[in-house]
Structure formats: C-alpha cells, structure tokens
Structure 1
Amino acid sequence: MPPWLAFLCNLLALVALGWFIAVWALCLLGWQVAYKLFANPYPRSPLSSAQTEEPAPSVSILRPLAGLDCNLYTNLCSSFEQHYPVDLFEVILGVRSEHDQALSVARQVVAQYPHIHSHIVVGDVEAGVNPKINNLVRPYALAKHDLVWVVDSQVWLSPHALGRAVDALLAKPPVPKPQCIYRTPHGSRTGLVHHVPLGVLPANTWGSHIERAFLSTSHAKMYLAINAVGIDSCVMGKSNMYRKSDLDRVPDAFFAYNADSASDEQHMIGSRAFDGEQDADDPFVLEMTTKKEENDVVRTKSRALARFGIYLAEDNMLALSLWRKPLELGHRIAPGDVAHVAVGDIQTVMEYAKRRMRWIRVRRHMVPEATYLEPFTESLVAGLCGWFGIYSWLLHPIIGPLHGGLHCGAFFAFYLANLAAWYWIDLGVLSSLRCGAPLPDAERKYFLGAWCMRELLAFPIWAWAMLGSTVTWRGKRYRILTNARAAHVPSDVHTEYGIDD
C-alpha cells in the first residue's frame, strides 16, 4: 500500500473511532438524562395547589383535533384533569369542521367537566400549508392567557404535567452538558418547555410496534441527549408550552418570506399572515363566516402563530425562532412527565417507513448537517465505524493483522456486542420513560422484533428520503423546497427516480 494511502486510511480510521466514541457518549448521556428526569416519581409542583405564596400564572391549553385518533377521549380528558387552580387555566378544543368525527368526542368531554373553563372552536382557517396551524389559528386568537400549552390530540399527560411544565418555564435555562466543559446556559430565561414523546397503545401490527419502539428508544434517547448538550434547538411538537408575547417578538425577517417568491418556486404555498398588517385592535366576532373575517384573525390576533403555517414542520421552526437571535430564549424538557403518544393502527411496515421518510425529507432542509449525519448515529453504521477504528488503531498495532476466519470472528464478536449494548441502553431509556413499569404482556412479545426491524430499516429509509423531495400528507402531495417550505405537486407530475412517496 502506498504511504499516502496508508496515511489516509489511518486518518479515516481515527475519525471513525472518534465518531464511534462520540455517538456512544450521546447514547449514554440520553440514558442518564432519561433516568434522572423520569425513572423515579418527580416531586409535585407547588403550583398544583391554590395554597401557594406566589400566584400561579394563567395558562390556555390548546388541543387541535382532526379525525378520530386512538384514545382520543382519554387524551382530551387529561387536559381537564390537571391539578392546577381551576380558575387559572382554560381548555380550547379546535375541531377541523362540523362534520369531523372528533366534534362529538369533544362535546362529551366538555360536558363531563362543566367546572373547567373551556371552548370548542369549529372550523379551520387557512393560514398556509400546515393543517395544524390552520386548526390553531382561531383557538390561539381566543386564548385569554399569555402562556399557551399546545398538546396534540394523540397525547395523554399526567394530572401533574401542567404545574411541572409551568415550573420549568419559570426556571432559568438549563446548564448544557457535559458539565466538565463549562458553557453558560442559552439565553437569560426559558422560552419553551416541551415533553419527550413515549409511544403507547400500539395496534397488533408490526408497523405500530416499530413506530412505538422508535419513539420510545432511539428517538427519545437522542432527543434527550441533543437537548442536554444544548448546541441548537431540537423540539418535537407533541406538547409545547410558550408565551404568546414571545412569539409576537419573532421578527418577520426570521421567515425570509418573499410574497413574490412563487415566481421563482412554482406552486410554493404562502400565507395570508404576510399579506399585510391591519390594526390589531380592530374588533371582530369569534364565529367568523366570511373570508374577510378569516383574513382578519390571520393578520391580527393570530398573526404571530399563523406565520409558521408556511412550514410543514412548524414545531421545529417555532422553537428555532425562539432559540435563535434576536430572542435567544432557552428550552427545557419538562421533568417528571412524558407525552404518552397513542400510536394507534399503523397497518403496514411500508406505512411506518413512509412516515419516517416524510419527516427526514422535511428535516433535510431545516437542519441539513444533522440530517446528513443521521445514519452514522444508528447502531448498524456506528458499529461499522467503531470496528474500523478499533481494528486499525488498537487490534492491528497490538496483535498484528487478522486473517480469514479469525478476522471475521473478531468482527462479528465486536459487532454483536455493540448491538447488545445498544439494545440494553435503549431498554434502559424505555424503562426510565415508563418510570420502571414493565411493558404489557401483549406488547412485550413484539418489542425485540420491532426494535431489530427498526434498526435494520433506519438506513434504507434514510437513503429513500435522500433520493427525493416529495411527500404525501393528509392525501395531498408536496415538494419540500430548499428553504424548508413546501410547494404543491400537480397530480400528473412523477416523483424523482420513479420512487413514489
């Protein structure tokens, strides 16, 4: 081997070894954070009782609804059963239309809790491409309080979640880890609190169990680790709490919105929130029936939120807007509570793969560096990197080159040990998120197989996502643009490389 090639191989092996160590450090950090925040019962917030020295802040809980989601009734009831002074929070349920199946469930829940201040708002307002933002426009305008807590319809949270989330929002931003490398907290105060998702209630299909395994192990582990390191924002929008007054301060420059950009990107979807501002004090009725009245709420009371309707992944972009300049507000993961996400019926493995592919394609233009590195954080690829580095820098210099069966045996021993350790860490994360509670017997028999299939599918799904830019969401096809926005895809246009989305 020429000297230059040997030098290059050794350099690549050193990089691979360093990467393997860094990935394992993140895995262990995610496990440690999960254990610290969730493995043991967390103290009840003093705000959960009316007997507090300082008055508790008032909160508006917003729950966007569209369709009959798994466990919907129980999920909605959890918002009404919060241990928090009843005169200091309200619940606003936003239903897509009067024909939506969720409406009857919403009415049943509201009727069951007459002592809780609540509203049902029927009818979306088109603010952009994102259906969740379209659903939230009117509830957001109706919310009386500065603190808003947006919780997806698939999510159930414990009765103490509201008090502990408010505590976290009022606390100072966390000190980034590892603490041996001193870094100051991001920002002077906390601007957003979010809950780590935990997959629950999967149907008896492999697609559902793989999704549950993904949410509860690999995703949760890296989600906790990345937020603990605190280099940049990393937020999933299943359960987020923030201040309306902070969202008002996000400048339009953050969106880099150009009303004439449709000429450059054909079919790009804009938002009426940027069509021009009106006097925010202009009166308007809550039961809006005309287009003019819809425009009014998008451009006035809900404009701060409606602007995020230009993105499919509004949760990440909203969190980024609070994290980055000029606001530079910290984020906190709510301790003691997880967002129990009802996985429901994902009928096929292909359906699971399409869900994961869709969000990888969206993330590629929001956080491109992290998305391109993503496969190297997975167990199978990281294990290959680890073997390359360890063999080149440890085994080969100490015991010399390995040949034939001895080399294969050493490789498989290392690779299987790495996978076993990875699985053990993921089980630890799952156990912590469940506060030590074991999986139900009906679900336990699926878990190992679902975990293995998740790990095997991770790289193929990522590669599939990299080969295209179109996604299908709620029956509509979109093309993800380089500015993280979306454009309509006409029905007669074929996807890239003949690979459907």
Structure 2
Amino acid sequence: MSHSYVDFTCLVAAVAVFVFWIGYWFVHALAIAYGKWKLHHKSCKLPMETPYPAVSILKPLTGVDVNLFSNLETFFTMEYPVYELLFCISDESDPSLMLVKKLIEKYPKVDARIFVGGEKVGINPKINNIQLGYASAKYELFMISDAGVRMKEDTLIDMVQHLKEDVGLIHQMPFVCDRDGFPAVLEKIYFGTAHARIYLAADFAGVNCATGMSALMRKKLIDDAGGLKAFGCYLAEDFFLAKAIKDRGWKIGICSQPAWQNPGVCHIPTFQKRIIRWAKLRIAMVPSTIVFEPLSECMMLGILAAWSIYWLFECDPLAVYLLHVLFWFLLDWILLSIVQNGPLPFSKFEFVLGWFLRELSAPFLFLNALLRPAIRWKAGVYRLKWGGVVEEINPTVKQ
C-alpha cells in the first residue's frame, strides 16, 4: 500500500471526523436553544376556542413501590374537565389493585375503572396488559402513562393544547423528580443531558423519538393501523405507534412539560440495565445506531476529534481533548439547568462525579448491549430481530 494512499485515506477520515464533530456542537446548541424555547411554558388555563376534548388515560400497573400511591393520586387531582382513568392490572393478586381501590374510594367523583387480567394479543406484556382498557376507552383521545410518572395539575391541559389539528401524538420528554442519593443524581444527569440533547434535537427536526411512558394520541389513527394489538409483536411499541401515525401524514411532538418519573426504586445497576435495554432496542430498530451512537459520546468523540485536528492543523491533541471535554461539560450543565427549570437538587461536586461516571460508562454499556442482544424485561427473555420485531425466548425467567 503506497504512502500517498495512506495519507489520502487519513485525510478523508480526518475531514469526516472534523465535520461530524462540528455538527455535533451544533446539536448541543440546538438542544439548548430549543429547550429554552420549548420547555416549561405555563399552560394557559383560559378556555380554548372549542371545549377541551375528553381523554381516556390507560395506566398499566405491575407491583407496588413506595411512591406508587402518591404517583397515582396525581392523576385523580388534575385540573381537566373530562377524563377517565383506566387502570390495567395483569393479575388479581397484584398488590397495586388494593391501592387503586383506595384511591377510587377517596375520589369518587373521578371516572375510574379497573381491568384485571389483560388479553394476550402478542409478545409485548405492556400491550397485553392495557388491551382491555383500550378496547373499553370511551373517548377519541387516549393516553398511555406508566406507573412511575407523576402529573402536575395542568399537565394534561398542556399536552392537549399541543395536540393541534395536524398533530396525531404528543409525548413528554422523559425526566426525573428530585430524589435523595447519588443514583438519583446520576439518573437526573442522564435524562437532563445526553438523553435530553438528542430528544430535543430530534423533536425539532421532526424525527421519531417518542417514548411510551407518557403519550397522548388519537385513537382513530391507532384503530386504522389495526388497534393496539397490531403492535403487540414489538417491545418498543412506542416507536412503532408514533411511526404508524407519522406514516399516515400526521405530526408528532413534545409538550412543554417533561415527564416526571418518580419510581420508588433508584439504584445504579437498575438504571444501567434500563439504559442497556433501550440501547438494544435502538440497535434493532435503527441499525445505524451501531456506528453513530458510540461516536456521539463525549469521550470517544473527543479522542477522534483530537486526532483529526492534529492531522489537519497540527494542534496539540491533549489540549484539544481537554478543551472538548470542558466545553461539553459546561454545555451539559446549561442544558440540565434548562430542563430542571430551577436550582439543581445536588451540589456541583456531585454533578462532576455523576457526569464523569455517566460519560465514562456510556461506551461500556453500549458495548454490553451490542454483545448481549437478548432482553430481560418483566418475566420474560426476548430476542430482537432487525426491524424491531421480537420473539420470546424463555417466558419463565425472572428479572
């Protein structure tokens, strides 16, 4: 191989890396600007031109944690004219059933019903659980909301106001409530920086980034796609629900309030397993993730950028790398403050520790997802096929 060919190949690679690096700084700036403009706008509580449409809210429940009762109670105290709560519980012996009954007794004026047992319509346990509730939903708009999500009094108003005439689905950007302990710090840093950056940029660009933990959509569009049962063959049903809506010419988007996740369990291993599972889903649904996701992480991109700039401009690669990390760190602090919309519930020292742990562990978590594609979720083990279709490997294996 000639020396000139090697030089030319390195030059092309260096230019490509440099362009990607510059482009990713644009993603940082876009996320900050769009987040500042989009998030935490106060919902106008004055009447709309037409009355607020009624909403059916599906709540899939499995098990109980220490925050479940207070999380569910926020759905009974929302300020919204007409809505129904459809609690879907997979088993009669599930302890969440007792909590729901207590809340229904406490708030008798709220339209709430319980569906136990679900219906087996596919592999996805969440779809199976909420199928009965979906089939019994009374209203044209329906919302899927996970058990660990809290609602503010005006959250549903905010979501409905963003559901314009040409919009088929509105979802909330995932974030987390303030909680004690370093694992909570790590979760808040992840959802307020790396996750928020891509989520906000994708929403601005009109890219499908919907997550199913809190999503409001038009029932007719899902019925036209075959109903919820048509999505039971996927684990990432949220992605394919949004795709079905976009494929029919409708827009999707986020509202101004993030989804306030507040699960009772907060441990670093549990959090990392969740990140790995999401990475496995992205790899199966969007194979280009295998290349671009590792390259978009701070430490990996910094190494490549330092090499690229040294090759192109003969700059000190160590200085370039350190400046890269410093500016990434500062921009993440700014973005997290915007998403939090208030003082952060931890010290700057805790942020430094949490940020470095998140960034240094990210490549290893992604490698784990790539090398171990089987997914453990709920009571089953699943194998993902290209395109996102899933098959169950062992339904008896527990988490």
Q: TM-score, normalised by structure 1?
A: 0.74
| CA distance 1:444–1:98, shift in 2 (3 Å) | farther
The answer for the alignment partner of 1:416 in structure 2 is 322
The answer for the alignment partner of 1:341 in structure 2 is 261
- Identify the range of structure 1 (240-249 vs 354-363) with the bigger mean alpha-carbon deviation: 354-363
The answer for the alignment partner of 1:279 in structure 2 is none
The answer for the alignment partner of 2:89 in structure 1 is 95
The answer for the alignment partner of 1:458 in structure 2 is 362
1:245-272, Cα deviation, whole Å (9 max, x unpaired): 011222xxxxxxxxxxxxxxxxxxxxxx
2:297 maps to 1:378? yes
Query: Contact 2:379–2:395 at 8 Å: present in 1 too?
Result: no
The answer for the alignment partner of 2:380 in structure 1 is 476
Query: Contact 1:203–1:345 at 8 Å: present in 2 too?
Result: no
Query: Contact 1:360–1:371 at 8 Å: present in 2 too?
Result: no
Q: Sequence identity of aligned pairs in percent?
A: 29
1:21 CA drift (Å) = 0.9
The answer for the alignment partner of 2:274 in structure 1 is 355
The amino acid of 1:46's aligned partner reads: L
The amino acid of 1:98's aligned partner reads: E
The amino acid of 1:429's aligned partner reads: L
Rounded to whole Å, the distance in 1 between the matches of 2:348 and 2:262 is 16
Query: Contact 1:45–1:164 at 8 Å: present in 2 too?
Result: no
1:13 CA drift (Å) = 0.5
Query: Contact 2:65–2:265 at 8 Å: present in 1 too?
Result: no
Rounded to whole Å, the distance in 1 between the matches of 2:132 and 2:11 is 59
Rounded to whole Å, the distance in 1 between the matches of 2:118 and 2:211 is 22
Q: Where in structure 2 are the equivalents of 1:237-386 lying within 5 Å?
A: 237-250=212-225, 304-324=227-247, 327-335=248-256, 337-349=257-269, 351-386=270-305
The answer for the alignment partner of 1:130 in structure 2 is 124
Rounded to whole Å, the distance in 1 between the matches of 2:137 and 2:318 is 58
Rounded to whole Å, the distance in 2 between the matches of 1:25 and 1:388 is 20
The amino acid of 1:237's aligned partner reads: G
1:343 CA drift (Å) = 4.6
Which of 72, 79, 85 aligns to 1:76? It is 72
Query: Contact 1:94–1:120 at 8 Å: present in 2 too?
Result: yes
1:15 CA drift (Å) = 0.2
The answer for the alignment partner of 1:467 in structure 2 is 371
The amino acid of 1:212's aligned partner reads: K
The amino acid of 1:485's aligned partner reads: V
Rounded to whole Å, the distance in 1 between the matches of 2:263 and 2:318 is 35
Query: Contact 2:380–2:395 at 8 Å: present in 1 too?
Result: no
1:300-329, Cα deviation, whole Å (9 max, x unpaired): xxx5001111111111111111112xx021
The answer for the alignment partner of 2:390 in structure 1 is 486
2:332 maps to 1:426? yes
Query: Contact 1:470–1:480 at 8 Å: present in 2 too?
Result: yes
1:490 CA drift (Å) = 4.7
2:51 maps to 1:62? no
The answer for the alignment partner of 1:196 in structure 2 is 173
Partner SS for 1:98: coil
Rounded to whole Å, the distance in 1 between the matches of 2:149 and 2:23 is 33
| CA distance 1:53–1:364, shift in 2 (3 Å) | closer
Rounded to whole Å, the distance in 2 between the matches of 1:490 and 1:129 is 12
The answer for the alignment partner of 2:351 in structure 1 is 447
Question: RCO (CA 8 Å, sep 6+): is it higher in 1 or 2?
Answer: 1
Rounded to whole Å, the distance in 1 between the matches of 2:101 and 2:3 is 75
The amino acid of 2:78's aligned partner reads: Q
The amino acid of 1:66's aligned partner reads: T
Partner SS for 2:288: helix
Rounded to whole Å, the distance in 1 between the matches of 2:98 and 2:45 is 33
The answer for the alignment partner of 1:438 in structure 2 is 343
Partner SS for 2:115: strand
Rounded to whole Å, the distance in 1 between the matches of 2:147 and 2:395 is 30
Partner SS for 1:75: helix
Rounded to whole Å, the distance in 1 between the matches of 2:128 and 2:343 is 39
Rounded to whole Å, the distance in 2 between the matches of 1:223 and 1:28 is 13
1:377-398, Cα deviation, whole Å (9 max, x unpaired): 11111212322232223x32xx
The amino acid of 2:289's aligned partner reads: A
Rounded to whole Å, the distance in 1 between the matches of 2:175 and 2:396 is 39
Query: Contact 1:365–1:482 at 8 Å: present in 2 too?
Result: yes
The answer for the alignment partner of 1:175 in structure 2 is none
The amino acid of 1:474's aligned partner reads: K
Q: TM-score, normalised by structure 2?
A: 0.92
- Of structures 1 and 2, the larger Rg is shown by 1
1:487 CA drift (Å) = 2.1
Rounded to whole Å, the distance in 1 between the matches of 2:224 and 2:304 is 44
| CA distance 1:483–1:53, shift in 2 (3 Å) | closer
Rounded to whole Å, the distance in 2 between the matches of 1:384 and 1:308 is 41
Query: Contact 2:57–2:83 at 8 Å: present in 1 too?
Result: yes
1:211 CA drift (Å) = 3.0
1:200 CA drift (Å) = 2.4
1:392-448, Cα deviation, whole Å (9 max, x unpaired): 23x32xxxxx7xxxxxxx33332222222212222222211222x22334x766432
Q: Which runs of 5+ in 1 are unaligned?
A: 172-188, 251-302, 397-401, 403-409, 494-500
| CA distance 1:70–1:22, shift in 2 (3 Å) | farther
Partner SS for 2:282: helix
1:444-472, Cα deviation, whole Å (9 max, x unpaired): 66432122111111111111211232121
Q: How big is the alpha-carbon RMSD for the aligned residues of Structure 1 and Structure 2? A: 2.3
Rounded to whole Å, the distance in 2 between the matches of 1:446 and 1:109 is 37
Query: Contact 1:78–1:157 at 8 Å: present in 2 too?
Result: yes
Query: Contact 1:202–1:344 at 8 Å: present in 2 too?
Result: no
Rounded to whole Å, the distance in 2 between the matches of 1:70 and 1:2 is 65
1:483 CA drift (Å) = 3.6
Partner SS for 1:61: strand
